[in-house]
Amino acid sequence: MYRGIILKQQLKTCANKWFASQAAAAVQESSSPKLSELKNGLKVVTANQGAYGARITLLVKTGSKDDAAPGLTHCIQATSGLTNNKNTAFLTTQLLSALGAEMEVIAGRENIMYTVGCNPNVVKDILVDVLYPVVLGAKFPWWEVRDVVSLMKYQKAIAETDPCYLLMESAHKASFSNSFGSPLLCPDYMMGQHTTEMLVSRHNSTFNLKNMVLAGTGISQDVLIDAGLGLENLSTGKEAEQTTAPKFVSSEVHVEKPSDLVHAALTFPGASLNNKNAVALSVLQHAMGSISSIKRSSGMNHGVVNAAVESATNAVFNTSTFSLNYADTGLFGVHVVAQKNDFAKVMETTAAQCSKIASSGLSDTAIEAAKQRLKAKICMSTENSSQTVEDIAVQAATIGTVATPSKIM
Amino acid sequence: MASSAVSRLSNALRRCTIQPSRNIFPRRMQSNQAAVKVNTPETRVTQLANGLRVASEDSGISTCTVGLWIDAGSRYETNENNGTAHFLEHMAFKGTANRSQLDLELEVENMGAHLNAYTSREQTVYYAKAFSKDLPRAVEILSDIIQNSTLGEAEIERERGVILREMEEIEQNQQEVVFDYLHSTAYQGTSLGLTILGPSENIKKINRDDLVKYIKQHYNPSRMVLAAAGGVEHDKLVNLAKEFFGTTVSNDSYEATPLKLAPCTFTGSDLRHRNDHMPYVHVAMAVEGVGWEHPDTIPLMVANQIIGSWDRSSTNGAHFPNPLVRRMAREGLCVSFQSFNTLYTDTGLWGIYFVSDNENIYDCTIRVQDEWMRLCTELTDLEVSRATNTLLTNMALMLDGTTPICEDIGRQMLCYGRRIPWPEMARRIAYINVNDVKKVLGKYVWDACPAVASIGPTEALPDYSNIRAKMYKVFH
């Protein structure tokens, strides 16, 4: 009862606060990213400060590559927002709704990102009352960990309907020998096997401020620094140790599914994010052909691979090149999709084309066009604050600086 | 046939949201966000002598989006030519008098630009996204596409096949199907009841003359808006518009535009497609709402927000403040539900889409209607203020980048004839109180005849008379 009264008061104030300084929203400032490191070890980075809606990301440098028990990261993601040292799951949800905010948790191979979209005026409340407790104070009580299994199963079932997800998982499994290739989503045999102890120990060892980045768009650097300063490093862990870079191995993984279309990825070692070749590889990606930017295009003009395969085969197919940059490794590859009868021929031609490019290079015009496409892609991604906030958070976390679009060019 | 099996590579990240998933309606059926950006440069509007409106917002950045918003879509069609607007959209990037398809693609790809187009029931849109310095070329390409499309016979034949395949694909998407059903029953006998893609008989017979006639009839400068956002100087854009669109004369005398004014009557009715082989029932249930310009749209949007949306993948559903979300999450009655408010010029559909199985569909429908009735009678202040907050945040977050802003400008210019400045919109939303919401719900929902469309094992779905009888409540 007592709790109930407090909650109601708190929610009411939240709801009223929203309009208090509606007119004082930040004016369009320079959108160049600003980065500072606080005394408590937290890195704070902002960009696009004039954007109307605010997006705040708290990034933790840990992911499925650190999973001692496969699927642990998935479990951390699925339990996010449940009971923590300050709020119950109920209060967390109610507070977010009262402040008109939404929270999203994205867990990847190297990072877990907690992103909140909200009005700029309530950023500090969100951080102090909701986001910090969610990230730093998670408790993982056993009954909640038990209940979350059905959600994990559902998420996995949904993800597996996407052939691209399956393909990328297999590509990582085939390309990396160590835990870097471990699955993003919990494998079936580990469902329900994660315990509170496992989660708490992982949380204690990796969720500390030195391992985190607070990134924001639509909010000024000062406000974010102010909100970050109040944090104490509760965790006993240290900054993540430098692990040895995952090694690329040549191998193959096949997943059989009944379908008319066959998807395959042909992968090569890529470049890490701070490797100077990363940009060059991205140019190569766009020269070979990534995704067409014209609706219903013929697909022949955004790279050289499609056109070459088209002239050699009579099949219905598509290829698209990808280049993934991680902290200390990367993965470059070609995604090929074709009908099953034509597949062998399409794949052979694509592989032949790749080795031809490797030996004899590309024409200057192809590279010029690819540079143009890459530049446009980078500039256009800065328009979008949900993309930007992820980008700056990852860059600050992995290379410690944030590159401006002009610098990359 | 070239590579048509296009697929997007997921970046191998997985997501889970704590917020019930936001509107996921595809563009062609969604039209319920109305928002503008705060403290952004003002939107400047100029009308050319031939009636073309040019509207832009200059944020000074290095990229921009520029596009044509045309007052034309499947609502302007008849049973005989239904599908033409969408067919034309397919022909858009297939070559013009000055460029072949491959030249066009090469030119655009080498600029690093994007070209996109879509058709809804009332609007057709073509837009380009490019570096701001390439704006003149982007406008020139758009004008070339609109005015000089070759519409070659070979390309028409090829696209005919593509559209027929697209129809097969859409038939697999139950959500799209059920919304087409909803329109066809709610707006039966009118042009809003037509689908965007058109029936396959029409697709099989549409020829070059039909397309040319449609362009002449509908692609008139007086019914178009050239909208732009990003690093765009308004005066420069106006000059470009004069150069590339200024010479076209409006063809409004050609059959005029009587269709625009033809009202589309809403009929409370029921359409069921029973298929016991499907695992889930998809239901869309709606009452007649209001059109874009009507002041009641905003309270109706707030009501939508209070009902909310949910699907099984969202965590914490049982703790949500929205009673229907909480109830569905606790009782596990449905797979997902989503409240929607689809707006057209002079009418709209306000309702809910939900997916459930045969065992639970009855209870699920009852719960949904209980919630509607609760909203009409027992709404609280707190719920309304929470909903307006969420609505404002969502609107602000949606205007993310030049393309959404440009879409907003184009759509508002067509719907309202102007762009509503953010402070005005924010104030209109902020001043909504519980009585306003109750009043509009009393007006449009209470004791109204809903239109219901469903597909799947619909056996247990309540009869229409029962659904209708639950649209009011007797108090003793």
Asked if A128 and A227 touch (Cβ cutoff 8 Å), the reply is yes
Q: What is the pLDDT of residue A146?
A: 93
Is A394 touching B (CB cutoff 8 A)?
Answer: no
Q: What residues 183-202 of chain A have any CB closer than 8 A to a CB of chain B?
A: 184-185
The answer, for A243 touching chain B at a CB cutoff of 8 Å, is no
- Is the residue at A18 inside a domain? no
Are B275 and B136 within one domain? no
- Domain limit, last residue, from B184, B214, B246: B246
Give the closest residue to B289 by CA, choosing from B32, B466, B20.
B32
Instruction: List chain B residues with CB under 8 Å of A338.
Output: 5
Q: What is the helix (H) or strand (E) element at residue B455, kind and residue range?
A: strand B451-456
Alpha helices per DSSP H over B344-380:
361-378
B89 among known catalytic residues: yes
- Asked if the structure places residue A72 within a domain, the reply is yes
Rounded mean pLDDT for each run of 10 residues along chain B, 476 residues in total = 34 40 36 40 89 92 94 90 93 92 92 94 95 95 92 92 92 94 96 93 93 90 93 95 83 51 89 95 96 93 94 81 91 93 94 95 96 94 91 88 93 91 84 94 96 96 96 89
C-alpha closest to that of B352 among B287, B412, B256, B263 = B287
**H helices, E strands: number in chain A:** 16, 9
Q: Is residue A10 in some structural domain?
A: no
Q: Please name the helix (run of DSSP H) or strand (run of DSSP E) that holds residue A336, with its range, or none.
A: strand A330-339
B67 shares its domain with B200: yes
State how far the alpha carbon of B328 is from the alpha carbons of A126, A195, B24, B307, in Å: 27, 28, 19, 11
pLDDT, mean of residues A134-158: 91
Please tell me which residue of chain B has the smallest CA distance to A10.
Answer: B382
As given in the structure block, the two tokens for residue B31 are 């039209």
How many interface pairs between A and B have CB atoms less than 8 angstroms apart? 267
Domain extent at residue B185? 43-246
What CATH number has the domain bearing residue A341? 3.30.830.10
Domain count, chain B: 2
pLDDT band per the 50, 70, 90 thresholds, residue A10? low
Contact call for residues B85 and B200 (beta carbons, < 8 A):
no
Q: Is the confidence at residue A13, as pLDDT, over 60?
A: no
**Residue that finishes a domain, picked among B246, B279, B303:** B246
Interface touch B109/A162, C-beta < 8 Å: no
Task: Give the integer Cα–Cα distance in Å for B289 and B340.
Answer: 11
Q: Report the SS3 class of residue A276.
A: coil
Mean per-residue pLDDT, A366-373:
91
CATH code of B330's domain: 3.30.830.10
> Do A137 and A281 fall into the same domain?
no
Indicate whether A15 pLDDT > 80. no
Digit-coded pLDDT (tens) for A189-216: 999 999 999 999 999 888 988 889 999 9
Only one residue has tokens 């705060």, namely B38
Return the residue of B nearest to A260 by Cα: B5
Structural domain boundaries, residue A213: 32-242
| Residue B1, pLDDT score | 34
Q: Catalytic one among B89, B122, B159, B288?
A: B89
* Residue where one domain finishes, among candidates B246, B277, B298: B246
* Closest residue on chain B to A119 (Cα): B393
The CA distance from A335 to B444, in Å, is 51
Q: Are residues B311 and B351 in the same domain?
A: yes
For testing contact with chain B, the best of A87, A301, A309 (most B CBs within 10 A) = A301
Q: How far A19 CA sits from the closest chain B CA (Å)?
A: 8
Are both B278 and B335 inside the same structural domain?
yes
Distance of alpha carbon A305 from alpha carbon A250, whole angstroms:
22
Same domain flag for A320 and A230: no
User: How far are the Cα atoms of A77, A309, B127, B321, B457 from residue B351, in angstroms, in the given order?
Assistant: 33, 49, 31, 20, 21
- Token readout for A240 is 């993540």
CB hemisphere CA count around B51 (13 angstroms): 14
Taking the C-alpha atoms of residue B168 and residue B422, their distance in angstroms, rounded to an integer, is 41
Asked whether the beta carbons of residue B392 and residue A18 sit closer than 8 angstroms, the reply is yes
Query: Contact at 8 Å (CB) between A174 and A168?
Result: no
The DSSP string of A52-95 is SSEEEEEEES--GGG-SSTTHHHHHHHHTTS-BSS--HHHHHHH
Does residue B115 belong to any structural domain of this protein? yes
> How is residue A49 written in tokens?
């400060």
Cα separation, B141 vs B134, in Å, equals: 11
Alpha-carbon span B451 to A104, nearest angstrom? 35
Residues of A in contact with B14 (CB under 8 A): 74, 77, 106-108, 155, 159, 184-185
Are B178 and B296 members of one domain? no
Q: How far apart are CA B364 and CA B352, in angstroms?
A: 12
Closest CA to B258 of B397, B431, B76: B76
In a domain, A195, yes or no: yes
Answer yes or no: is A404 within a domain.
Answer: no
Which conformational region is residue B198 in: left (phi greater than 0), alpha (psi within -120 to 50 degrees), or beta? left
Q: What SS3 class is residue B272? A: strand
Domain total of chain A: 2
Give the pLDDT confidence score for residue B40 in this predicted structure: 60
Per-residue pLDDT of A226-257, as tens digits, reads 888 877 765 555 555 556 778 888 888 999 88
| Whole-angstrom distance, CA of residue B184 vs CA of residue B109 | 40
CB contact under 8 A, B16 and A77: yes
